[in-house]
């Protein structure tokens, strides 16, 4: 069974950097857009951005552009979400998700057919 395996929970202080990961256990990592989705406690889901691992083409939500970096490592089938300077408001659960392809056409803004279990990030002084 293909899974997206996310890294463990993190506790950080404001201003610190952080990189969390999402590893695709299957063999189609370079054939799907991989997205990151945020869920602030008590709130809904927000799309942050997506990456095409084959060439690292990346699309960001305007709400997150400039504050996060999404990257991918084809050699390990792993996508990363990175902050250079965390804020308390970054406290949230972060999910990676794979966008479905329709008849071999893969789009960055598509529904998600596979999700990870989430990585809880807590930022507190």
Residue 57 in contact with another protein, rule: CB under 8 A: no
Residue 118 touching another protein (CB under 8 A): yes
Stretch that binds another protein, among 15-23, 44-52, 67-75, 82-90 (CB under 8 A): 44-52
User: Does residue 7 interact with another protein by CB under 8 A?
Assistant: no
The answer to whether residue 103 forms part of the interface with another protein (CB under 8 A) is no
Q: Does 45 bind another protein (CB under 8 A)?
A: yes
Question: What does each C-alpha distance from 6 to 105, 107, 110 come to in angstroms?
Answer: 26, 23, 21
What lies within 8 Å, CB to CB, of 68 at 6+ separation is 36, 48, 49, 60, 81, 82, 83
């Amino acid at each position: 069974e293909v899974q997206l395996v996310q890294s463990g929970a993190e506790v950080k202080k404001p201003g610190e950097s952080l990189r969390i990961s999402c590893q695709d256990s299957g063999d189609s990592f370079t054939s799907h857009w991989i997205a990151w989705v945020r869920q602030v406690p008590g709130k809904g889901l927000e799309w942050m951005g997506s990456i095409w691992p084959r060439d690292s083409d990346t699309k960001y939500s305007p709400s997150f552009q400039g504050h996060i970096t999404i990257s991918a490592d084809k050699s390990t089938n792993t996508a990363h979400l990175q902050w250079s300077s965390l804020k308390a408001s970054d406290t949230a659960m972060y999910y990676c998700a794979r966008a479905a392809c329709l008849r071999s056409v893969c789009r960055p803004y598509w529904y998600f057919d596979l999700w990870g279990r989430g990585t809880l990030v807590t930022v507190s002084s």
